[in-house]
Amino acid sequence: MEFERGIIIRDKTRLEQLVERFNSKAQAKFYLERAGGDFSFYEQEHNKFYESLEIVKASLKSLLKVKELDRSFLPTYIFSKQDLPLVLGQDGLVANTAKYVDGLPIVAVNPDAEQYDGVLLPFVPDDLEKTLGRVMKNDYAVKQVTMAEAKLDDGQSLLAFNDLFIGASSHVSSKYEISHMGKSEEQSSSGVIVSTGAGSTGWLSSVFNMANNLNLLSGYSHDLGTHLSWDADQLIFVVREPFASKSSGINIGCGVIRKGEGLQLSSKMSSNGVIFSDGIESDFLTFNSGSNVTITVSDKKALIVA
């Protein structure tokens, strides 16, 4: 694979977001300090990010053409096979990027290793030149990450690196029919989570934490929990807070979706039904009455340069 462009994918710093919110840096500082906050923390974080960005640009410019891409443009940017995506940010930005690069290898760089754990960020700016040299010679390894795919019957689809949420966009009950492994039922719940291996330590783990606390309350001490490897060709789904009534059941509460299998849902929501992935609520599929979705293990894998 021959790359021609390095696409630096980034998000606004928290300082930049504050300036957007309050119209100026001075007003943002006044608001935070009046509330007892430490404005210098945001300045230091911002400066560190831009120091890292300059190092990354310098490393790329000796090898490739360079383009910066704000996170908000990911859903509409069309990547080519000559593009090398380079994520500079936190883990969530890597997850969000993986859905849109169509199997291109992602170089993920931690802009501030002292602040961010960076589970998905194996590199720091000072190491980047050596890493890019290996990538340009096609002498590199990748970590494969299984993704989930939601596909509506009208052909629209959405990938997930960590998890999918299917339900109502507000806090009202989500109503739908769910089908899995030959069984179906009408349900009313807080929505359905479908988790990949990469996401099994995230949102899904919080569901198990809640179940474990309830077990302790009832005197049952067995620790529930699950963890899938990142490349496992299976997904786990959980129904959040299912409600039993004359018209809604609770018998399909969780399960495993293996490669070649699917989880089907048919919306019974007149409005506000959505499907979104990886916590990005602004990037969603509409899931209202008449919509049917099938959740499967995607044929596409995310490739993280290791």
Please give the backbone phi and psi of residue 107, each rounded to the nearest 5 degrees, phi first. Answer: -95, 115
pLDDT digits (tens, 9 = 90+) for 189-203: 999 999 999 998 888
3-state secondary structure of 163: strand
Q: What is the pLDDT of residue 206?
A: 84
- Say how far apart CA 100 and CA 77 lie, in whole Å: 8
Q: Is the pLDDT assigned to residue 210 strictly greater than 90?
A: no
CA separation for the pair 15, 43 (Å, rounded): 7
What is the predicted pLDDT for the residue at 204? 84
Q: What is the pLDDT of residue 212?
A: 78
Q: Is the per-residue pLDDT at 222 higher than 70?
A: no
pLDDT tens track for 164-191: 999 999 878 999 999 999 999 999 999 9
Residue 218 has pLDDT above 80, yes or no: no
The pLDDT, as a whole number, for residue 225 is: 63
Return left, alpha or beta for 156; rule: phi > 0 is left, psi -120 to 50 is alpha, else beta: beta
Name the pairing type of β-strands 174-180 and 273-277: unpaired
Is 224 a residue whose pLDDT tops 70? no
What average pLDDT does the chain have? Answer: 93
User: Which pLDDT value is given to residue 134?
Assistant: 94
Mark 36-69 as b/e (b = at least 16 C-beta within 10 Å).
eeebeebeeebeebeebbebbbebbeebbebeeb
Residue 251 has pLDDT above 90, yes or no: yes
Q: Which two tokens stand for residue 264?
A: 């089907």
pLDDT digits (tens, 9 = 90+) for 68-110: 999 999 989 999 999 999 999 999 999 999 999 999 999 999 9
- pLDDT band of 282, cuts 50, 70, 90: confident
pLDDT at 140 over 70: yes
Decide which of 2 and 189 is more confident. Answer: 189
Q: What is the mean pLDDT of residues 225-232?
A: 82
Q: Give the model's pLDDT for residue 207.
A: 83
